[in-house]
Chain A
């Protein structure tokens, strides 16, 4: 066959490789490209503009340009809102940049690292800690009252629903105004329940019993679990259902509590696993089920219960979406405590904007008040036209909004939704939450529902990853 490669040759190659690694690392270190971000970023959370605020007109004297980054939910409406804003404030020019939703956090991190001009951005509770601790966004709380605004900061703070406030807070400071706040709720088909003489289920055992009854009637899979691992929101409805039992993820010291023996979280996971594999009341298409598909199935009457974000009910009830349109209702989350998972999406001001000076910040604050304020036109528009939730309590007093909500969510729904909003929680998301969330979705929960691992093993993995990330 030819001469064999001798052992000495192998040792030579091995030595060469290790040597190459060391030399390579040295060359790399010496030749490393200049760091893009200054190493000495002195970020103090309590950074305030020290100049005494002079009263500047709300419309800045000269033209100010703002760069606004969003994710691509209803971009047409966003752009329409922006053009209306620009008509009202002709000296503020806004450019909208939209990115696709699954990649939004990574795109924004790269954007901030490179330093692409961004002034106002969408943000979510799961990335706030990350961006705030990196110094990319600044607390609105510190800036608000130093500029011309329609309502002072206290007005908005006292109006915020508790979970929305929690979602917008990092290290005790509120960073943004929650223009859109919602809850992962329990949705059911009222007509079908009334037909069988059922009341909305109070706990998960009752859900199971009712499902089994519906199965006898010929509905193949009465409960829809939408857990498509691709989707960042995927496990929020699972978490929300666990909150209904009174589960918590961690305590005040950020120690995981979900992996304690007999934790409600494990119980809820077990409920789903049994529902998929034992009772067969949960639709086995869960791994490709996204809220759009689930909504369609609910409107078509193919299922009776599901756990989805609240706004989906509005879509399901829209006339024309299916034979059951108008029959879907939001119910209180079954379980001992009826709590649910609430979140908030907010507008943030970036450090880059602050660095640009007073005019830029004034324009940005005017923008945020128009778009995110509880009395602003944009919040009302999202509520009335899209049925989106909001993070304040006062909009419910507005008859337009109340009527629009009742039209979309059903008569009498305002009461239930308001009650659920008061019972919703949003645990603080630490800096590493985004990464942990990614891992939990793809590696832990996806495997639990296929029965590759048991719920106990799953929470063990989750806790391991949590502790590993916490250390640093």
Chain B
């Protein structure tokens, strides 16, 4: 398709000037950074061997990382964590959003209060929950005070899978408000007359939910689910402080390779692998919501 080159109208000139700073800023950053990431992934870059920095070694970094003793377990844990997070958070979110949609005295306050956990840094959330799980921590204290438990439970001495479940609770504590509020807002955008018509027709609450509400918010639920999956997959800070810097899911090892073990080549390779996983997840969105719709929705005036 031949590109028509012509003089710019004054409107276009202004527009270009307004857009250029942001575009340039983002362009330089992302293109340069991504290219560097790809470069680092293919060279040897160990800070403790300064004599060999920059040597091209092909796919060795990738092979090292995938063959590393931690990789298999971490991938397994990451997927379990992502799956559990998405399923639990989205299903609970739907329930909570129904609750929040009701009009009762104090609903505004409830909506505000539950947003507080979402607003604090995930780093802080991880630490709070870790402190709650110590033997002398609040869960044991509260439980013993109420008489629910007789002996303090040793949460942090349990295996990795248990720790993941506890971390999941922390993640849920943080993400649930956001998800619920989004779904609640989606609820409120359903045309009122449809709901009223259904009520007048005598449909019960559950039937209304299934046949009127759900088709409308289906897309939003799908989007939210994918968003939560990506957030869980790349979650880093909350697990870092929750484990005290000892373990995490795959993003933790990208950091550990780079900064505990001073091998930036490995770190970059692992980042590329993570990016590939994310791209796969995004292509799954595109299966559910066709890209054409996203374009339309963004550009149509």
A interface vs B, CB < 8 Å? 1-5, 10, 13, 17, 21, 24-25, 27-29, 31-32, 35, 37, 39-41, 102, 106, 109-110, 113, 130-131, 133-135, 228-230, 284-288, 431, 435, 438-439, 442-443, 446-447, 449-452, 461, 464-465, 468
Sample of 16 more A-B contacts, CB < 8 Å, known A2-B293, A452-B159: A13-B283, A21-B38, A28-B35, A28-B39, A29-B43, A32-B39, A32-B54, A37-B50, A106-B259, A284-B154, A431-B48, A435-B260, A435-B261, A442-B246, A443-B69, A451-B159
Q: Can you spell out 25 A-B residue pairs with CB atoms less than 8 angstroms apart?
A: A2-B292, A5-B291, A21-B38, A24-B39, A25-B35, A25-B41, A27-B31, A27-B39, A28-B35, A28-B40, A29-B39, A29-B43, A31-B32, A32-B39, A39-B53, A39-B54, A284-B154, A284-B157, A285-B157, A287-B154, A438-B256, A439-B69, A447-B160, A465-B69, A468-B69
Closest to B133 in A: A288
Q: Does B247 contact A (CB under 8 A)?
A: yes
Does A109 contact B69, Cβ atoms closer than 8 Å? no
Chain A residues within 8 Å of B160, by CB: 447, 450, 452
A316 to chain B, nearest CB (A): 20
The CA-CA distance from A442 to B157 in the complex, in Å, is 13
CB-based contact A113/B50 at 8 Å: yes
A256 to chain B, nearest CB (A): 14
Q: Are B36 and A32 in contact (CB under 8 A)?
A: yes
Taking CB atoms, residues of chain B closer than 8 Å to A230 are 244-246
Residues in A whose Cβ lies below 8 Å from that of B159: 447, 450-452
- CB pair A106–B48 under 8 Å, yes or no, is no
Candidate in B34, B48, B279, B291 with the most chain A CB atoms within 10 angstroms: B48
> B260: which A residues are within 8 A, CB to CB?
106, 435, 438
Among A3, A28, A130: residue with most chain B CB under 10 A: A28
Q: What is the CA–CA distance of A286 and B157 in the complex, to the nearest angstrom? A: 7
Q: Determine how close the nearest CB of chain B comes to the CB of A433; give it in whole angstroms.
A: 11
B70 on the A face (CB < 8 A): yes
B262 at the interface (CB under 8 A from A): yes
Decide yes or no whether B37 CB sits under 8 A from chain A.
yes
Q: Counting CB contacts under 8 A, is B204 at the interface?
A: no
B residues sitting closer than 8 Å to A (CB atoms) are 31-32, 34-43, 47-51, 53-54, 56, 68-70, 134-135, 154, 156-160, 244-247, 256, 259-262, 272, 276, 279, 283, 286-287, 290-293
A28 adjacent to B36 (CB under 8 Å): yes
Query: In the complex the two chains form, what is the Cα distance from A9 to B37 in whole Å?
Result: 26
Report the minimal beta-carbon distance from B227 to chain A, rounded to whole angstroms: 20
Chain A at the B interface: mostly helix, strand, loop or mixed?
Answer: helix
Of all A-B residue pairs in the complex, the 10 with the closest CB atoms, nearest first, are A28-B39, A2-B290, A24-B38, A28-B35, A37-B50, A27-B35, A25-B38, A24-B35, A450-B159, A229-B246
CB-CB under 8 A from B31, the residues of chain A are: 27
How many angstroms from the CA of A450 to the CA of B157 in the assembled complex? 7
Roughly how many angstroms separate A428 CA and B223 CA in the complex, as a whole number?
Answer: 55
B53 touches A287 (CB 8 A): no
- Given known pairs A32-B54, A134-B50, the reply for A106 and B262 (CB within 8 Å) is yes
Q: Given the complex, which residues of B lie within 8 Å of A5, measured CB to CB?
A: 286-287, 290-291
B290 and A3 contacting across the interface, CB-CB below 8 Å: yes
CB distance from B255 to the nearest CB of A (A): 11
Selected contact of B51 from candidates A21, A25, A41, A449, CB within 8 Å = A41
Report Cα–Cα, A442/B35, bound state, in Å. Answer: 33
- Closest approach, in angstroms, between the C-beta of A29 and any C-beta of chain B? 5
CB distance from A232 to the nearest CB of B (A): 11
Report Cα–Cα, A25/B36, bound state, in Å: 7
Provide the bound-state CA to CA distance between A28 and B70, in Å: 28
Q: Chain A residues near B291: list those with CB within 8 A.
A: 5
CB-defined contacts of B246 to chain A, threshold 8 Å: 229-230, 442, 446
Chain A residues, Cβ within 8 Å of B48: 109, 130-131, 133-134, 431
Complex CA distance for A435 and B154, rounded to whole angstroms:
29
Indicate if the CB atoms of B134 and A288 lie closer than 8 Å: yes
Check A287 against B50 for contact (C-beta < 8 Å): no
The answer for the CA separation of A272 and B241 in the assembled complex, in Å, is 28
CA distance A284 to B102 in the complex (A): 47
Instruction: Give the distance to chain A from B115, nearest Cβ to Cβ, in Å.
Output: 32
B contact residues around A442 at 8 Å (CB):
246-247
CA A285 to CA B245, docked complex, whole Å: 18
Among residues of A, the one whose C-beta sits closest to the C-beta of B73 is A443
Residue of B nearest to A135 (CB): B50
